[in-house]
Amino acid sequence: MDILVINCGSSSLKYQLIDMNGENVLAKGIVERIGIDGSRIKHEPHNSEKIVIEEPIKNHKEALKMVVDAITNSEYGVIESMDQISAVGHRVVHGGEDFSKSVIIDDKVMDALNRNIELAPLHNPPNIIGIEACKEIMPNVPMVAVFDTAFHQTLPEENYIYAIPYEYYEKYKIRRYGFHGTSHKYVAIRTAEILNKQLSDLNAITCHLGNGASITAIKSGISIDTSMGFTPLEGLAMGTRSGNIDPAIIPFLMKKENMSFDDVNDVLNKKSGVLGVSGISSDFRDLEDEAEKGNKRAKLALNLFANRVVKYISAYASELGRVDAIVFTAGVGENSPLIREMVCENLGILGVKIDKNVNDFKGKERMISTDDSKVKVLVVPTNEELMIARETVELVK
């Protein structure tokens, strides 16, 4: 069964075609700069060289046509015809309170997605456009929506209600939703497998540390707390996002700097985080290089980042009562021994001990805790596309 996984952004469309019989990626790629000068598709078949085709791509429908052409092309394609695609799995950022699981897309689901635009004005519209484009191009292929928020719909009320007047929850659904759910769920499932446990017996703290970063407390296999909230701005300091700040800073800045709300929003989302603190880069590789050379603000940004991770892990350990594993994933979590070490060396109170030599690697699945560590510490590379494909198969089979 071949499943096409689609992740549509405002000007990009990422895809993977996965043969679910052996969970093998047949091809993956990205269409970039949709509707902008310089649009192109980068297509990586599993059995031949990566190709790049540059040509004007006006909209997502054209982008999707190029994807279908690429995967069925006689030279660099991987399947003979579109009919071989059994189903399409779409990543959707915000499911609001409507979706606690993945669903087969029908008209009712489309209505709910449209209702939730208000909650994710930047992310949901391109997701919806991607679904519409697919419907036009492959009208008879079943489609599934997999939500970033769904895994966190199990949060208890006290963890999702903000301490603001309750009427705003009732009127506008202002509450904590959490994101990266597909990734947290994937690494939790994988961690249970590695530890030879049932998922329903697993208590873990999963740390998705990428450009965007979030931490989740998983109790008996379900999410009970997570660091992102109403939007993906809450929680940890990130590449360019501030994470938690005193909300009073917002009106203060608006006054002092004569900024509009949009200006401040832009600062908090795009110019803050480790980029804002260091003044150098949002990329941890650059920060690690500069810190090594003695740059104080690069070092400060790394310390601040790691410290927030430590605080969340410690708080979540208390919420969980028992922690079987702390798991690192995503760009930084998988690839930065330094950040993992900076975090773990401050978790002594939980009895966490890692082996520095074993920790000195990137991008693989590995246990980095010592035998006498009270909590297992693992690195598990995330695979959101595979998780989306699995959920799609589950629903359409």
Instruction: Catalog residues that contact ligand ADP under the rule CB under 6 A.
Output: 210-212, 239, 283-285, 330-332, 335-336, 362
CB of 335 to ligand ADP, least distance (A): 4
CB of 197 to ligand ADP, least distance (A): 26
Q: Which of 2, 19, 98, 148 is catalytic?
A: 148
CB of 271 to ligand ADP, least distance (A): 15
Burial-class residue 311 by CB neighbours within 10 Å (0-12, 13-18, 19+): middle
- Complex with ligand ADP: residue 283 or 355, whichever CB lies closer: 283
Alpha helices in the chain (DSSP H): 60-72, 107-115, 124-137, 157-160, 167-172, 181-194, 249-256, 261-270, 273-278, 284-292, 296-320, 330-335, 337-344, 356-359, 384-396
Torsion on CA atoms 78, 84, 86, 88, rounded to nearest 10: 50
Spatial CB neighbours of 58, under 8 Å, sequence gap ≥ 6: 34, 35
DSSP code, position 347 = -
Phi and psi torsions of 379, nearest 5°: -110, 125
CB of 376 to ligand ADP, least distance (A): 22
Structure-token pair, residue 119? 């909650």
- Complex with ligand ADP: residue 25 or 320, whichever CB lies closer: 25
| Residue whose Cβ sits closest to ligand ADP | 331
Annotated catalytic, 246?
A: no
Strands, sheet with 222-226, edge to edge from the N-terminal-most edge strand = 222-226, 213-219, 204-209, 325-329, 376-379, 366-367
CB of 218 to ligand ADP, least distance (A): 19
List the catalytic residues. Answer: 148
